[in-house]
Structure 1
Amino acid sequence: MTPARSGEVPVTPKGRETKEALLDAGEAVAARDGLSGLSVTAVTTQAGVAKGTFYVYFADRAAFIEALDRRFYERVKEAVLDVVAPIAPGRVLLMAAVTAYLDVCLAHRSIKAVILEARVHSVRGAAFADLVDQFTAIMAPSLEVIGMTPVGVYARLLIALASEVALIELERGSSVDEARAGVRKMLEGG
């Protein structure tokens, strides 16, 4: 059997369950050992599967890390979309989106740290650009309503600001009210 591309969804329920178990194991290994300890052997041992099973779902370690990254940002996207759905475009929506992002980062600190570390050692590719486009689309109406144009520029700045707050909270290991208040203050023009 040839290795699956990391973005492919396994056809069978058992296959989807195994792939998720490997990703869960990767998160556990990342929490314990960081990026340097995130080896195929460590992941398969944690998942309780044969090493060959890993290669059914992932071409290599890099594809696995990419899948962890993709799953993390799917969680972020779901959380953001859930929280902003009932909110009219504007500052309140933007702050709710940033807060949802930060809360997911805190809930999955170890994987966020691995993603950040992995990005330091590689070039952000098309997948990251796609995520920026998705989050820009979510924020665009709110940015327009509050006069933050051009939207593309301000969306990137807000993404960078939220990412920096996530780093502050990652270092602290908990929510940092002052940093979140700083985002709110900037969005209010203060």
Structure 2
Amino acid sequence: MPRPAEPGRTALLTAGTRVAEDRGLRGLSINAVVEAAGMAKGTFYHHFPDRRSYVIALHRRYHDALAEVIGAQIAELPPGAERIRAGVTAYLDACLQTRGTKAFLAQSRTDTDLLDEVHARNQLVANSIEPDLREMGWADPGAVAHLLVAMVAEIALTELYGGRPREDLRAAAAELIDRPEN
């Protein structure tokens, strides 16, 4: 009879987030994860077939948690600029407060195991804000959404490395969001 995935899977993912925060994705070895979790290496392989699938699970878990925070902030808002601004603010604030942001936002862009995941997640977010941009009058909301995702990710990285919110960048992004093409 197979063992249930929980709580071992969760313990491994939690340990991996700590390791990624402390050592980055390059330092995220299976040995480091099981040591941080206080588990045997065999337990890791019970839950994950390899490092790649584990790193993907970590990345998804990180972004799913961010999505929950953002969703709670925008749930009651109608499509449009206010909803996008609220989502951007929630995302940026959460990135500053969430363990693993450096690894899962910055380093994941260059980790070959995560490139497809990063692109897929960015496309998912872009698709989710297209209706807002369409409501605002943008003629090509897909292209604008793609650029908005890239812009907000860059702001998040700037804030992360600076250790504080960049109100000037947030204000500039809000101004750009409010200016649909004519």
Shorter chain as denominator, the TM-score bin is 0.7 to 0.9
Identity of aligned residues (%): 35
Is 1:90 paired with 2:55?
no
In structure 1, stretches of 5+ residues that fail to align are 2-9
- Return the match for 2:101 from 92, 109, 112: 112
- Return the match for 2:159 from 169, 177, 181: 169
Cα distance between partner residues in 2 of 1:101 and 1:72: 12
Instruction: Please report how far the alpha carbon of residue 55 of structure 1 lies from its aligned counterpart in structure 2 after TM superposition.
Output: 0.9
Cα distance between partner residues in 2 of 1:67 and 1:149: 36
Provide Cα deviations, 1:22-44, integer angstroms capped at 9, x if missing partner: 11101111222222221111111
Provide Cα deviations, 1:91-137, integer angstroms capped at 9, x if missing partner: 1100111112112211225x222123133132622x44443343234
Equivalent pairs counted in the alignment come to: 178
The 5 Å alignment of 1:26-175 reads 26-109=16-99, 111-115=100-104, 116-122=106-112, 124-125=115-116, 127-175=117-165
Q: Structure 2 vs 1, CA of residues 34 and 131 (structure 1 numbering), >3 Å: closer, same or farther? A: closer
Is 1:16 paired with 2:14?
no
CA-atom RMSD in angstroms: 2.2
Cα distance between partner residues in 2 of 1:17 and 1:124: 28
Cα distance between partner residues in 2 of 1:118 and 1:130: 12
Is the 8 Å Cα contact of residues 44 and 54 (structure 1) preserved in structure 2? Answer: yes
Instruction: Please report how far the alpha carbon of residue 70 of structure 1 lies from its aligned counterpart in structure 2 after TM superposition.
Output: 0.5
Q: Structure 2 vs 1, CA of residues 11 and 79 (structure 1 numbering), >3 Å: closer, same or farther? A: farther
| TM-score (normalizing by structure 1) | 0.84
SS at match of 1:59: coil
In structure 2, stretches of 5+ residues that fail to align are none
Provide Cα deviations, 1:7-34, integer angstroms capped at 9, x if missing partner: xxx973xx22111111110111122222
Structure 1 runs, 4 residues or longer, greater than 3 Å off:
127-130
Instruction: Please report how far the alpha carbon of residue 184 of structure 1 lies from its aligned counterpart in structure 2 after TM superposition.
Output: 0.7
